[in-house]
Amino acid sequence: MGDGRVGGGTNRPAWLQQYELVGKIGEGTYGLVFLARLKQSHPHAAAGVGRRGSPIAIKKFKQSKEGDGVSPTAIREIMLLREINHENVVKLVNVHINHADMSLYLAFDYAEHDLYEIIRHHREKLNLPINPYTVKSLLWQLLNGLNYLHSNWIIHRDLKPSNILVMGEGEEHGIIKIADFGLARIYQAPLKPLSDNGVVVTIWYRAPELLLGAKHYTSAVDMWAVGCIFAELLTLKPLFQGVEAKATPNPFQLDQLDKIFKVLGHPTVEKWPTLANLPCWQNDQQHIQGHKYENTGLHNIVHLPQKSPAFDLLSKMLEYDPRKRITAAQALEHDALLPSQAGEKIVQYPVRPVDTTTDFEGTTSLQPTQAPSGNAAPGNQSVVPRPIPRQMQQPMVGMSRMGGTNMAAFGAAPQGGIAGMNPGNIPMQRGAGAQSHPHQLRRKADQGMGMQNPGYPTQQKRRF
Amino acid sequence: MAANFWTSSHCKQLLDQEDVDKVPQADSDRGITPEEFRLVKIHMSFHIWRLAQQVKVRQRVIATAVTYFRRVYTRKSMTEYDPRLVAPTCLYLASKVEESTVQARLLVFYIKKMCASDEKYRFEIKDILEMEMKLLEALDYYLVVYHPYHPLLQGIVNDTYKMDLILIHPPYMIALACIYIASVLKDKDITPWFEELRVDMNIVKNISMEILDFYDTYKIDPQRGLPEDKIAPVMNKLPSKA
């Protein structure tokens, strides 16, 4: 990994020289995220990664508050990502330290899309649902990555659409990458109750046991979030949009619980025996236990027949009792995820907006050399913002690396519905894989869903 | 990883004894012998232990800290990385990794209290934070460590961290050696139990002998650590960053 030495007279670390900065793509409480390209091939470059020109996302952690050192968020992320290796988990390619200003940089393989932007694009630009085959593929991959994490005793704790990345054009096109491990925990031998880390998981995707103050929660909290994301992929709207009560350190979130109860009905001690032990259930009797909702309207919201396998899977993910909630391993075996016929339609998603005026120090230059790409004029030939030339694209090939039995069934699905960038909508022939897998989505770029002139989503900072 | 030692970075990084014993060039240039190199590591392991008692962290955090400390000196010299500063910083980093963060200012406070008479131990918060980043680098950002702990064997297991065993053997083999020693001390024959495990008993016995040798050789006071007259001259050979 990086040597972190401070280079030449510019006071710029030597490692920085290996990247060509493209621009800023995101901002969070911890710091900034940049898009860069590798100038030289990495010595251990594998196919497609670490090659010259490879896009890299660089997450810069701000200098910590006085006296706190490296942020625990960064430590967790480094510690976990340095150990794990899975196709559906984001790949940490490098860590760099700038000793001069005590800042820390994590370099990841860059993913062009994420579920937040994909869902938004369908909702706001296309006005069309994501086709069921694509939903299935995305869900399967998400579960596949999560199953790997859970079988390694890692709870993600902050799953939400913006943390689920989807690879753009390239060898891993359409592959899901679970990202942002800043809250993830190993739960094998916790030294403190897990709840000591404070409240976790963005409120809309937060499991009911957390909202009710559970102290020792499990990997089931991630499965609840997957259920919420699954529903959102179907309807393009967050399933339970509660309003967060921010002022309180109390995990209890009445509005969020109310949103859940309205859809799923009121939980009962009969169906969820340990409910009685949850602090907030006991303490807030008149608030929570007072409300009674009985009509379960989930099927109406997601527009799925109650007897369909997809609805069955969704309701098992949104099971109140965390002990009964379906696990990632079980979900992968569920009938709803059996291979099916590929859909026909291909959607191209817009690339991530890049702010090319911001440098690694986060300083914004006054005279941008290029127009900010997020608002680039939508040409009728290309959906690619100027600063990122796409000439190095490789012809698409079948996903030969997808081996295992389950993967074979879903083999080509990943890149199927997510056919990404295709400047000028040039018809591209999928490689041998298209013929060899009956379930593989046929790529018919010229049938793209009216994406010739898609325009761009309004520029918005990604929420990390 | 957390569930599987065999796929962990810890497993992949296990070393041979010779690699662990090797005195870094800069240190041997200063006249540090392999034996003295070992003494410093024993001494500073005690130092970490005592500091940890003050700030009250769990056994596991200490074990991780000592492992970091020993790992650092398979790659860096004590001349360049002052063990007096590396030791508390390892505890600081381990406390974050094991999710029970200790404030750097608390460590600074207790170091001052414990080592008031020795100017070479005078550090500020800033020193620890700078060293934290250098440690992350020196550890190549591999932070997950496995330990051979079992509550019944805690005493013996703790003693193994006065040695480099954790850098050389998988934790389960160290644990088995501790079980073996305990069985011998208690005069219980558990040979059949070991036979069923199908592990290489030669390795288990070798590790056990190393631990017993260690007890014999150093005869360390479990409270005080190495006698002052033995360690002080060695520590004086190392330059101070304070």
What does the alpha-carbon distance between residue A272 and residue A294 come to, in Å, rounded to a whole number? 15
Q: Which residues of chain B, if any, have pLDDT below 50? A: 1
Amino acid letter, B106: L
Closest chain B residue to the Cα of A82, Cα to Cα: B142
Q: How confident is the model at residue B242, as a pLDDT?
A: 65
pLDDT at A233 over 90: yes
Distance from CA of A103 to the nearest CA of B (A): 9
Contacts of A425 (CB under 8 A, 6+ apart): A348, A445, A446, A448, A451, A452
Contacts of A224 (CB under 8 A, 6+ apart): A205, A206, A207, A208, A317, A318, A322, A325
Tell me how far CA of residue A144 lies from CA of A172, A177, A233, A328, A370, in angstroms: 16, 10, 17, 7, 40
Tell me the chain B residues in contact with residue A83 when contact means C-beta distances shorter than 8 Å. Answer: 1-2, 8-9, 142, 144
pLDDT at A452 over 50: no
Across chain A, mean pLDDT equals 73
How many H helices and E strands in chain B? 14, 0
Q: How confident is the model at residue A72, as a pLDDT?
A: 86
Compute the average pLDDT of residues A58-69: 79
- Higher-scoring residue by pLDDT: A133, B89: B89
Compute the average pLDDT of residues A412-428: 37
Across the interface, whether the CB atoms of B3 and A99 are under 8 A apart is answered: no
Q: Which pLDDT tens digit goes with each residue over A290-337?
A: 667 766 689 989 999 999 999 999 999 999 999 999 999 999 999 999
Positions of A marked active-site: 158
Q: How confident is the model at residue B20, as a pLDDT?
A: 93
Name the DSSP class of A35: E
Q: How confident is the model at residue A37, as a pLDDT?
A: 92
Tell me the chain A residues in contact with residue B93 when contact means C-beta distances shorter than 8 Å. Answer: 70, 75
Residues written for chain B? 242
A329 at B interface, C-beta within 8 A: no
Q: How confident is the model at residue A402, as a pLDDT?
A: 33
Q: How confident is the model at residue A161, as a pLDDT?
A: 95
What does the alpha-carbon distance between residue A331 and residue A150 come to, in Å, rounded to a whole number? 13
Q: Which pLDDT tens digit goes with each residue over A382-416?
A: 322 223 223 222 322 223 333 333 333 333 333 33
CB-based contact A240:A256 (threshold 8 Å) = yes
pLDDT at A43 over 70: no
Compute the average pLDDT of residues A344-359: 77
Tell me the chain A residues in contact with residue B101 when contact means C-beta distances shorter than 8 Å. Answer: 72
A2 at B interface, C-beta within 8 A: yes
Which phi and psi angles does B170 have, rounded to 5°? -65, 145
Q: Which range scores top for mean pLDDT: A243-252, A428-437, B210-219? A: B210-219
Q: How confident is the model at residue A271, as a pLDDT?
A: 87
Which phi and psi angles does A127 have, rounded to 5°? 55, 40
pLDDT at A376 over 50: no
Which phi and psi angles does A104 have, rounded to 5°? -125, 135
Compute the average pLDDT of residues A219-239: 96
Compute the average pLDDT of residues A327-352: 80
Q: How confident is the model at residue A352, as a pLDDT?
A: 86
Across the interface, whether the CB atoms of A152 and B130 are under 8 A apart is answered: no
CB-based contact A327:A148 (threshold 8 Å) = no
Across the interface, whether the CB atoms of B143 and A79 are under 8 A apart is answered: yes
Q: How confident is the model at residue A377, as a pLDDT?
A: 37
As for the ipTM of the complex, it is: 0.77
| Domains along the sequence of chain B with CATH | 1-242 (1.10.472.10)
Sign of CA dihedral B124, A11, B68, A184: positive
Across the interface, whether the CB atoms of B143 and A197 are under 8 A apart is answered: no
**Which of A59, A191, A192 should one mutate to test binding to chain B, selecting the residue with the greatest count of B CBs within 10 A?**
A191
Place of tokens 């096109």: A173
Q: How confident is the model at residue B169, as a pLDDT?
A: 93
Tell me the chain A residues in contact with residue B60 when contact means C-beta distances shorter than 8 Å. Answer: 189, 191
CB-based contact B133:A70 (threshold 8 Å) = yes
CB atoms < 10 A from the CB of A295, how many? Answer: 9
What does the alpha-carbon distance between residue B15 and residue A374 come to, in Å, rounded to a whole number? 50
Query: Given phi > 0 = left and psi -120 to 50 = alpha, else beta, which region is A149?
Result: alpha
Amino acid letter, A164: I
| Domains along the sequence of chain A with CATH | 16-109 (3.30.200.20), 113-337 (1.10.510.10)
Across the interface, whether the CB atoms of B137 and A102 are under 8 A apart is answered: no
Across the interface, whether the CB atoms of B103 and A67 are under 8 A apart is answered: yes
pLDDT at A359 over 90: no
CB-based contact A447:A460 (threshold 8 Å) = no
Distance from CA of A91 to the nearest CA of B (A): 14
pLDDT at A2 over 90: no
Please, how many CA atoms are within 13 Å of residue B143, restricted to the half-sphere of its CB? Answer: 28
Closest chain A residue to the Cα of B11, Cα to Cα: A83
Place of tokens 């008479």: B117
Q: How confident is the model at residue A196, as a pLDDT?
A: 52
pLDDT at A95 over 60: yes
Diameter of chain B measured on Cα atoms: 55
Tell me how far CA of residue A123 lies from CA of A375, A462, B98, B129, in angstroms: 19, 17, 42, 46
pLDDT at A179 over 70: yes
E strand or H helix at B104 = helix B104-114
- Higher-scoring residue by pLDDT: A282, B110: B110
Tell me how far CA of residue A422 lies from CA of A129, A443, B121, in angstroms: 21, 11, 62
Distance of CA A189 to the CA centre of its chain: 27
CB-based contact A356:A387 (threshold 8 Å) = yes
Tell me the chain A residues in contact with residue B136 when contact means C-beta distances shorter than 8 Å. Answer: 70, 78, 95, 97, 104
pTM exceeds 0.95 for this model: no
